[in-house]
Amino acid sequence: MTPIAIDASAMMQGLYCILPEILIVATALFVLFVDLILPEENRRILCGVSIIGVALSLFTVFAMGPGKISGFSGAVVHDGLGAFFEIVILSACALTLLMATGYSEWEGTHKGEFYSLLLLSTSGMMFMAKGTDLMTIFLGLETLSIPIYVLVGFHRHRMSSVEGALKYFLLGAFASGFLLYGIALMYAATGTTKIAQMVPMLYDARLAASPVFLAGVGLLLVGFAFKVSLVPFHMWTPDAYEGAPTVVTAFMSAAVKAAAFAALIRVLLLTLGGLQPVLWKVLWVLSVLTMTVGNLSALVQNNVKRMLAYSSIAHAGYILVGMVSGDVLGGQASLFYLLVYAFMNIGAFGVVMLIAQKEDEGYDIDNLAGIGFKYPALAGLLTLFLVSLGGIPPTAGFVGKFYLFSAAIKHGYIWLAVIGVLNSAASIYYYLRIVVYMYFLPAKGEVPVPRPPRIAFSLALCASASVVLVLGIVPSSVLEFAERSVLSLLM
C-alpha cells in the first residue's frame, strides 16, 4: 500500500478556502473551553467573544473577495454564491448573538454552551452554502441540525420547548434519511457525488430519463424541502418555532432557511439546464401550496409567535417562486429576498421578544393592544418590519417581492405571479392586524411594560431596521452583488 501523498500547497489552498468556517469553529471551541473556567457571573464575556469571532469571520469573507477558490479536490468552493450566503448567515448569527444575552438573562437560562452550539450550527450552515459535493452538503446539513435540535429544546423547564425539539429531531432524522438516500441513488446513476461532474452527464438524455437518477433528485428535493419547510413537509415548523426559545426561533427562521436554500439553489441552478422541464411543475406546485397554506394558516392565529412561524412557511414559498424559472434573474431575486428576509424576520421576532413578558403566555396578540402610542419606538420598529414582511413600499420586502414576481412573469409563469400577489395581499391582513392591535385597540387592563432592551439589543434592532429601509430605497448595489453571485455559479 502506497502512502497517500499530501500535496502541501493544495492542502493550504483548501484550508484558506474554508478560513471563515475555521474561525467560527475555533471560536466555538474557545467559548466552550472558557466557559469551563469562567466564573458564572462573567458569562456575558462569552457573548462578546462569539461576536468578535463572527466579525472576524465576516471580515475574512469580505477580504477573500469574490474570486473562486476551490478546495479539498472540489468538495468545497469559495465563490460568489458561497460568499453571499456566508454574509447572510453570519449577519443572522451576529444579530442573534446581540439579542441572546439579554434574552437568556430574562429567561434565566444563561448558559455558556448556548453560544458554542449557535456557532457550531453556523459553521455547518456555511459549509452547506459552500459545498460542491453532495456529501459536503449533507455533512453541513447534519452539523447545522444537531446543535439546532439542542437549542430548540434549550428551555428544559418548558414542556413546549422540549416537545418541539423532540418532534423536530425525529422528523429531521427522517428527512435526513430521504436526503441521504437521494444522494445514494444519484451516485448509483452517475458514479459521482460531485455536482460539477454530474452536470455534463445530464445532457445525456438517457441519464436525464433514468428512473434511478430521477428518484434520487426527487428524494434530495424532499430533504431540502423539509429544511426550508415547504408544504407538505412543513408540519414540524409551527411546533418547533413556537416551542423554541424565541431568540433561537429567529435564528432558525432566517439562517437555517438561508443555508438550506443556498444548497438548493446551487444544485438546482447548476442542474436545471437539464432538469428544468422535469422539475418546474414540481417546484411550481410546491411554491403555490407553501404560499397558500402558510398564509391561510397564519390568518387565523392569535399567538404572534405561531403567526410568524406560519408566515415564515409562506415566505419559503415566495422564495421558491424565483427558482421555478431557474435563470439568473430568478436566482438573483431569491438571493436578495433571503438576505432581506433574514433582517426583517429577526427584527420582528426581536421586538416581539421584548414586548412578550414570558415564553408561552406572552405572545398572545391581545398583549399588544395599546402598545402603539405608549412605546412609539418599539411599535414603530415592529410596524416597519411587518410592513416589509407584507411587501409594502418603500421597504426592502417590497423590492424583493417585486423582483421575485417579475422574474416569474418574465418567463411566462403568469399564474404563479398572480397567486403570489394574491397571497401577498392576503398576508397583509395578518401582519397589519398586529399593527391594528398596537395602535387602534385599547389595552385590556394595564398595558404590559416591555423589557428595557440592552444596548446590544437596541443595536441589533436598529441595524435590522436600517437594512430594511435602506435596501428598500437604494437596493441596487446588493442586487448587483446577488446577480454577480448567481453568475459566478454559472461561469
Q: Min. distance of Cβ 436 from another protein in angstroms? A: 6
Only one residue has cell 463572527, namely 54
Q: Report the distance separating Cα 355 and Cα 362, nearest Å.
A: 8
Q: Min. distance of Cβ 178 from another protein in angstroms? A: 6
The answer to whether 125 touches 89, Cβ cutoff 8 Å, is yes
Q: Report the distance separating Cα 461 and Cα 344, nearest Å.
A: 9
Q: Is 203 or 373 the residue whose CB approaches another protein more closely?
A: 373
Classify the phi-psi angles of 444: left when phi > 0, otherwise alpha if psi is within -120 to 50, otherwise beta.
beta
Burial (0-12, 13-18, 19+ Cβ within 10 Å), 135? middle
Q: Min. distance of Cβ 292 from another protein in angstroms? A: 9
What does 287-348 look like in DSSP terms, one character per residue?
HHHHHHHHHHHHHT--BHHHHHHHHHHHHHHHHHHHHHS-SHHHHHHHHHHHHHHHHHHHHH
Q: Min. distance of Cβ 378 from another protein in angstroms? A: 13
DSSP single-letter state for residue 42: G
Only one residue has cell 492542502, namely 11
Reported as type and span, the H/E element at residue 237 is helix 236-243
Q: Min. distance of Cβ 360 from another protein in angstroms? A: 17
What does 395-429 look like in DSSP terms, one character per residue?
SHHHHHHHHHHHHHHHTT-HHHHHHHHHHHHHHHH
Q: Is 34 or 328 the residue whose CB approaches another protein more closely?
A: 328
Beta bridge partners of 376: none
Q: Min. distance of Cβ 221 from another protein in angstroms? A: 7
Q: Min. distance of Cβ 379 from another protein in angstroms? A: 12
Q: Min. distance of Cβ 393 from another protein in angstroms? A: 4
Q: Is 52 or 235 the residue whose CB approaches another protein more closely?
A: 235
As given in the structure block, the three cell numbers for residue 157 are: 423547564
Q: Is 108 or 211 the residue whose CB approaches another protein more closely?
A: 211
Q: Is 350 or 390 the residue whose CB approaches another protein more closely?
A: 390
Q: Is 248 or 279 the residue whose CB approaches another protein more closely?
A: 279
In whole angstroms, how far apart are CA 98 and each of 60, 134, 285, 382? 20, 33, 38, 18
Residue ranges that bind another protein, judged by CB under 8 A: 163, 166-167, 170-171, 174-175, 178, 211, 214-215, 217-219, 221-222, 225-226, 232-233, 235-236, 238, 278-279, 281-282, 293, 296-297, 299-300, 328-329, 332, 372-374, 376, 392-394, 399, 402-403, 405-406, 409-410, 414, 417-418, 421-422, 425, 428-429, 432, 436, 439-442, 473-476, 479-480, 483
Q: Is 28 or 279 the residue whose CB approaches another protein more closely?
A: 279
Q: Is 156 or 281 the residue whose CB approaches another protein more closely?
A: 281
